Amino acid sequence: MALVFLTGGSGFVGGHLLRELREAGHEVRAMSRRAESDAPLAALGATPVRADLSDEAALTRAMAGCEAVFHAAADTSLWTPKAAAQTATNVLGTQNLLRAAEAARVGAFVHTSSVSAFSHLVTQVLDETVPQRGGESWINYERSKYLGEQAVRGSGLPWIVFNPAHVLGPGDRHSWARLIRLIDQEKLPGIPPGSGDFADVREIARAQVRAWQRRRFGQAYVMGGQRESYVDFVHRVGTALGRRTPRGATPAWALMTVARLADAWSRVTGREPNVTPEAATLTSQVRRVDSAKARRELDYRETPLDGLLADTLAWMRSDGLIGRR
């Protein structure tokens, strides 16, 4: 049994990583930035430790004696006013964590990145051989994920990087769950014209733990799933919930027009709009992912979308996120 340090344990991907690490018999020391996070982390079997990605000294102390770091904490905002805070977390925070891990003599660094590090500028099928262009992107999330990943790859630690596509599954409160809640409330104004691969968060967590146990250091893994248009995805959710949905896709130009108007108004109200120019750009993209390497080397499984969606909706119902009408 190993002692592992985990960031993002109270989040979506990090929570599943925590469960997988504990089920594999490992002891988990989970970063907790505030007291209210302690009890949920402890309930999953972790030992909460007070630290923050901005405090390198506290991170070093928290990692003392740990054999590996699993870094799943991230800021996924797609709104320009939050760009500075996002960079502080995704780039500077990752750099602080790497320096702390080196100081604590941690033996491995397992990093959750994203296919967003490749950027919407890349239109070909994504696999591990495709050059990333996130550093060129005007979208801060893409740029910050790229820069954070580059810091990991350039560190002196044994590292493993994961680039998941659209992550779906039980435990989601802020990602695709936002779209699903709008569908449940019949408030979805339109459907983006893009498409993507939907990856099971549980399989992502299992693959990460396997990669570390199999010592796949210096390797990166792109992880996708069943590929569907957003029109098809929304219609599947609507059918499952018995809710009305728009029939077809909103043209990309119309979606961007709405997003720009909403963004301009948000600067007056100070409230983040439902659709930002960044989100409109990304959801108008046709994104394709090849998970062959992860399937071959990590026994990664692409869960069929119907089953993955059913599990997600069941969890959201049990948590009171949908079905309140």
Per-residue pLDDT tens over the stretch 253-279: 999 999 999 999 998 899 999 889 999
What DSSP assignment string belongs to 120-179?
TT--SPB-TTSPP-GGG-SSHHHHHHHHHHHHHHTSSS-EEEEEE-EEESTT-SSSHHHH
Q: What is the mean pLDDT of residues 83-96?
A: 98
What is the per-residue pLDDT across 119-128, written as a single tens digit (0 to 9) for each? 999 999 999 9
What is the per-residue pLDDT across 2-31, written as a single tens digit (0 to 9) for each? 999 999 999 999 999 999 999 999 999 999
Q: Residue 324 has what pLDDT?
A: 62
Domain boundaries, the chain: 3-168+199-225+288-303
Nearest to 208 by CA among 294, 125, 266: 294
Locate tokens 């491995």: which residue?
Answer: 108
Residue 13 φ/ψ, nearest 5 degrees: -65, -45
Nearest to 2 by CA among 271, 212, 227: 212
Asked whether 130 and 122 are in contact (CB, 8 A), the reply is yes
Locate tokens 């390198």: which residue?
Answer: 56
Q: Is the dihedral of CA 17, 19, 21, 24 positive or negative?
A: negative
The percentage of residues in the chain with a pLDDT greater than 70, rounded to a whole number, is 99
Q: What is the mean pLDDT of residues 39-58?
A: 96
Binned at pLDDT 50, 70 and 90, residue 68 comes out as very high
> Is the pLDDT score of 34 beyond 90?
no
Question: What superfamily would CATH give domain 3-168+199-225+288-303?
Answer: NAD(P)-binding Rossmann-like Domain (3.40.50.720)
Q: Residue 323 has what pLDDT?
A: 85
Q: Residue 192 has what pLDDT?
A: 95
Cβ-Cβ contacts under 8 Å for 148 (sequence gap 6 or more)? 74, 90, 91, 93, 94, 95, 111, 113
What is the per-residue pLDDT across 185-194, written as a single tens digit (0 to 9) for each? 998 889 999 9
Q: Out of 91-100, 226-235, 271-280, 297-306, pick the least confident.
A: 271-280
Whole-angstrom distance, CA of residue 315 vs CA of residue 307: 12
Whole-angstrom distance, CA of residue 101 vs CA of residue 107: 8
